[in-house]
Amino acid sequence: MKSRETVLIVDDSVESLNFLTDALEDAGLTVLVALNGLAAMALVDRVAPDIVLMDAVMPGLDGFETCRRLKASASFVDLPVIFMTGLSETEDIIRGFEAGGVDYVTKPIIPGELLPRIQRHLATAQSVRSARAALDLTGRFLIAVDSTGRTVWSTPQATRLLKEVLNYEDTAAFTVPLELASCLNPPSNGQASSTKMKVGDRAIEIIYVGKVSDSEILLRLALVEAAADKSALRRAFALTDRETDVLLWIAAGKSNRDIAEILGLSPRTVNKYLDQIYLKISVENRASAAAKAVRVLTGL
C-alpha cells in the first residue's frame, strides 16, 4: 500500500480505534479517527479520506445513517465504506449495503483479513476515480442520474457548470426537472435524445448518452451558447477542442489562473495551449488572440 492512502475509522470504542490504528499504520496507511457519525461528517469536509471503516452501531448518528449522508453528496459517491460490527444477521448486512457500503466485516476484527479487503476496495475506487478524471480532462460535461433524475455522480467539469449556471452549491441536490424527463429515456428514432433547460438568459442542453445500469443514466451537459461559440472558433481556426476552450475564455477576458481553474488544468498547461493557439491563428500575444476571437464570435 502507498503511505499517502488515508483511512478514516469511525467507532465509539476507544479500544477498537487504538487497535485498528496501530494495525493500519503498521501497514503504511495514514489513519484518521472519529468517535461518532457527526464527527466523521465534519472531518470528511476538511480532509477527504480514501476509504472509511465504519462501526454500524453507535449512539446518536449510527453508521448506517452516516454512510447514507455521505453517499448523498456527489463528492463522496465513490468513497468506499466498509462496515464493522458485531451484528451478523442477514438483515443487518443488507442494511449496510443498502446504506452504500461496499463490504461488511464482523467484530472482533482480524487485521490479516481486513487489510486485503481494504487493498481491493482502494484499488477499485482508484480505477473509478481515474476513469472519471480522464473523462473530465477531455472536457466531458457528464452527469449520471438515477431513474428519478437525481444526481448519482458528475465529472468536475459538469459540477462547475451546474454551480455556475444553476447556482447548485451541492450538485447532489440537482434533479432533472419533470418537464425535461424525456432526456432520461433512450432515443426511439436513432437521433440523440436531448432537451434544453433555460436559466435566465442562459440555456443548458441535457443530452442522453446511455444507461449504465438500472440505477445510473448517463447524460451530457452543454452550455448552448458556448457550444455555438466553440463551433465557430473551431471552424475559423482549425483548433482542437481544448484549444477552443482556452481561446473562448481568453476572449471572455479570463486570466490564465481563472482558465486553469475553470477547465481543471494547471496554469502551465494553459500556457502551452496558448503557444499552440498563437501559432495556429497567426498572432503574437494574448490581446491579439482575444481580439481575433471576438471578431469571429461577433461576426465583425
More confident residue, 1 or 34: 34
Query: Residue for cell digits 475509522?
Result: 9
- CA angle centred on 68, ends 131 and 157, rounded to 5°: 35
Q: Is residue 23 part of a domain?
A: yes
Over 80: is that where the pLDDT of 193 sits? no
Q: Are residues 120 and 171 in the same domain?
A: no
Q: Is residue 120 part of a domain?
A: yes
Say which DSSP state 202 is in: E
At which of 178, 198, 223 does a domain end?
Answer: 223
Q: Is residue 1 part of a domain?
A: no
Q: Are residues 108 and 12 in the same domain?
A: yes
DSSP output for 89-139? -HHHHHHHHHTT-SEEEESSP-HHHHHHHHHHHHHHHHHHHHHHHHHHHTT
Q: Is residue 230 part of a domain?
A: no
Over 80: is that where the pLDDT of 264 sits? no
What per-residue confidence (pLDDT) applies to 66?
A: 94
pTM score: 0.51
For a pLDDT cut of 70, what percent of the chain falls above it? 83
Q: Are residues 62 and 120 in the same domain?
A: yes
- Confidence category of residue 206, pLDDT binned at 50, 70, 90: confident
The mean pLDDT value for 104-124 works out to 89
What per-residue confidence (pLDDT) applies to 34?
A: 94
Q: Are residues 173 and 276 in the same domain?
A: no
Q: Are residues 78 and 192 in the same domain?
A: no
More confident residue, 199 or 282: 282
Q: Are residues 203 and 284 in the same domain?
A: no
Over 90: is that where the pLDDT of 187 sits? no
Mean pLDDT of the chain, nearest integer: 82
At which of 223, 248, 281 does a domain end?
Answer: 223
Q: Are residues 53 and 81 in the same domain?
A: yes
- Confidence category of residue 234, pLDDT binned at 50, 70, 90: confident
User: What total of structural domains would you count in the chain?
Assistant: 3
Task: Centre a 10 Å sphere on the Cβ of residue 127 and count the other Cβ atoms it contains.
Answer: 11
More confident residue, 127 or 56: 56
At which of 172, 188, 223 does a domain end?
Answer: 223
Q: Which three cell numbers stand for residue 251?
A: 476572449
Q: Is residue 202 part of a domain?
A: yes
Q: Are residues 116 and 177 in the same domain?
A: no
Q: Are residues 142 and 161 in the same domain?
A: yes
62, 69 in Cβ contact below 8 A? no
Say which DSSP state 254 is in: -
| CATH number of the CATH domain containing 244 | 1.10.10.10
| CATH number of the CATH domain containing 174 | 3.30.450.20
What per-residue confidence (pLDDT) applies to 21?
A: 94
Q: Is residue 13 part of a domain?
A: yes
Q: Is residue 95 part of a domain?
A: yes
Identify the CA nearest to 156 among candidates 124, 129, 133: 133
For a pLDDT cut of 90, what percent of the chain falls above it? 26
Domain span including residue 119 = 6-135
Q: Are residues 47 and 98 in the same domain?
A: yes
Q: In the chain, which residue ranges form alpha helices assigned H by DSSP?
A: 14-26, 37-44, 63-71, 90-98, 111-137, 156-166, 224-237, 241-251, 256-263, 267-281, 286-298
Q: Is residue 168 part of a domain?
A: yes
